[in-house]
Structure formats: structure tokens, C-alpha cells
Structure 1
């Protein structure tokens, strides 16, 4: 497993190269500000508040011994891409197991440990990112009365299977502590003109890309996109989206051209999964 601790450097350099390369590619596809409309009618924006999530057992066979899961989009029992919230109990620790599909995870609150059964504890705090390849035996543990993580798959169904069914998919897991995520500010990117805006590139798979977008305190502006696939989960802070207040764990999405009007009182961070560029502009 690739682990990024406070003293790790090789993977940080590797990630830094990816981030800078991504930035260069973005400079070739900049949205010109005067081409952005003042308003867009009939957008396909969908909002799911964290308070509206329907919680069920992640593994029904284990019932209350399993974490709770709340779907934000998609259907983890179906075949389509899906994103859901994971809510384990304090001091939860799973038995060694595998999954039939690979997933990505972001810690929203509490501490998460995800590694092979013999590995030493590596507790990832809120804002950390990890991946878990399909077929690989691992355990997942949690510390905190309100530990929540966001989990994302590109193909379902999402199943929990016994370790005896392990296989090597050729993928390798990555754990990225929040202290080792590389942030780029408005001076480093060309698709934000708002001072204090920061972006971190997490993964890139063909047309799809995962990024973290951090808004500064007192932000008043718009998030503009033409992506046919665009979804955002609030992983830190609170935002006002049009007439709704979003707490951590809330989700919004759109298809096609859309303007998301956002204001913040304090700093807030979104995780964005998108198949096209987006731009942050002042109100």
C-alpha cells in the first residue's frame, strides 16, 4: 500500500507532478469570463441534504455490527456509479474482507483506518483521501462518535465479500493524509479569479476527474460548469446554495450548463466529481 504520512516525500512529489500537469491542461481550456451567462434557466440542479439521507446497514447480514450507509446519488445495489455516506460506530473495526468493486473515500469527520489486516494503525483525519482496490483483503476501522466518510464507486453493485474470495486486480491502494494534500491557489490556476480559492487534484481517469475545491471565508460567487456529469459533496464547513443551507455530507449535482450560486460565512470545501472543467467567479 502506498501510505502518505507526515514524513513521506516520494508520493508527494509524484502527486505534485500530477497536479501541475493537470493545471497545465486546464490552461488550454479556460472558460472566458465574458462567455459566462448571468443566469441560466431550467438547470438540472439536484440537492440532497445530509439531514435527508436514508440510513441503512452497509452489510445487512451483519446488521448493527456493520456501519450505516446513506446513498447520496446512484444505487449501490445497482450497476451504475454511486456515491454514499459511510457512518461507522466509535471504535468500529471490520473483520478482514474484500469488495467486488474498487472505491474511493474521503473522510468527512472522525478518524478512519483502512489497510491490510497486518498493517499498523494509520488514522486518517477529516479531509484525507484513500482508495481501496477490488479483491484486496483489508480492514476498516473508525474512531469518533460521529465518524462519517464519503464513498464513491464507478460501477455497482457494491458488495462485502469474505477474504477467501480475494483476488489481485492489479490496482494498488493509496492513503493520503490531509496534511499531504497539495493545494493550488488562485495564482496557480486560470479558472478562478477569487482570492483565497484553492484546488487539489485527487484523481484523473480519462474524462472523469476528482478535485477538492476550497472556498475562502465570506465567499460570494458562482460555480459555473458545462459538464454532463457534475456532482459535489460538502466535506468541510457550510455553504448556502441558492435558497438552501448545506451542512457537511450534503450533495448537489447538475447536467449540462449550470450556474451554482454559493455563499459562505467561513471556509468550506467541496469534493467534486466531474467530466469537464468548472470555473469559480465572483458574484
Structure 2
């Protein structure tokens, strides 16, 4: 075969920065993935860790904005996310970094809804790493903005309740800190009217909110606010879930005589478990709130 007609394999990236810069160019994607699998990106680099991280972050955002990924591009993007996470551990983020990290996570959020569960866990790990690198004064601001942007989105995303639950759990874990308790009113306000048509599919979201209310009650944080939250948010959610269950029970009775049964069967083990989990979580949270009136 003529040497001019032979396909020339691109050279190996010399370091992780160069690999990230090449990831937008299709001719380097195979080499990049092969090198990652062999863990060859631990070589010395002439660039500082800060510069390398900033470059990786820019590449990640640029890649995310391309959109329309296939399975191959998803694998490449997950790999790049892992690289950024590894470098994020060595960084301490400041308020000046909020805008770029919000941009990164909101683009990841739009993309990650079509990724399989292992990929989802990779992104959760990425979020937890970056979140912890902010100081405790900035962490609640970081979470609040993400919650606001996710809930105001009109797009119907399959993993939205689960991702919202991750943010709520992160916030609730630290509400005893003054920087977090100061934002409690804003957080409750964001979720005041946030409902999902299928509470069982959004079980993680509802459970996280009621667990945060329970924790707020047990720690006796802003109790007057909590009573308002109970009346204006939690009791309405409880009514919605109860109405949903009653509706599905009536539909099941009709379905017994129908040839086209409803998709949700309240008798399946999974649905029975979700129903019991939600009811137990709600009852426990409301009991704790009522005890601190």
C-alpha cells in the first residue's frame, strides 16, 4: 500500500492538558480513550496544576455545549469529567469560581439525564468533590443557584427529581451551620411550588424535603419558619401524594375490567415499597415538626 494512502495515527498526547485540548478534534478521540485506559496521563507536565485544571474545565464546558452526543462521545465526556474531578481535589474554590462551576454543572445536568446509572454515579462523585472544595460560606450559595436553575427549567428531564434530591441532601446535612441556616428560607421558597405528576417516580425528591424538615425540627432551627413550611408546603405535598394514591387505586379497580391497564400498578413490590417509604418519611417528619410547636 502506498505510504501516502496509509492512515497516520495521531501522536500520543504528552500530558493531560494536551489530551483535553485534543478531545474536541475527532481524529484524536481514539488515541485519547486508548491512552486513558492505559492510564498514561500521569506524566510530568510543564504546566501548573491550576492552569491545567482551568484548561480542563474550559474543554469540558466546550465539549458539553456541542451536544448531540452518541455513546462514544458520552464515554469520552465521562472520562474528561473524571480527569477534572481528579484535579479538583487539589483545588480550593472561591466565590470567584461560582459562575464557571454553575455553568459546568448546569450543562452536565442537561446532558447527564440520558446517561446510564454508572455514568450518573460518576457525575454525583464529581459534584460532591467540587462542592466540598468550596468554603462553607460559599457552599449554600452554590447549591441554591443549582436548585433554582433546575426547578425553573421547563424541560422534562427523567432524572430531575433524583438530582434535586442530591442537592437537598447536601444542603440539609449542614443546616446547623449559620451560612446554611441563613439560606433556609430561600431553599424552601425554591421548592414551595415544585411538584411532580408521579410522586412515586419522584420519591427521592419528596423524601429529601421531608427529611430536611425533620432535621430542621430536631436541631430546632428557625422553628417559626418551619411551622409556615409545614402549612404551606409539606401539608400540600402530603395532600398531593394522598390524592395520587387514591386516584391510582380507583384506576386499578377500573382496570380490572379493562383491556388496557394503567402503567402504574400499586400492587407491584417496587410500588408498594415506594408508597410505604414515602408515607413513613412523611409521618415521621410531621411528627417531629408537631413536637416542637
Using structure 1 for the length normalisation, give the TM-score: 0.21
**Structure number, greater radius of gyration:** 2
TM-score, normalised with respect to structure 2: 0.20
Flag the structure with more relative contact order, 1 or 2, with Cα contacts below 8 A and sequence separation at least 6. Answer: 1
Query: Which has a greater percent of strand?
Result: 1
Structure with a larger share of its residues in helix: 2
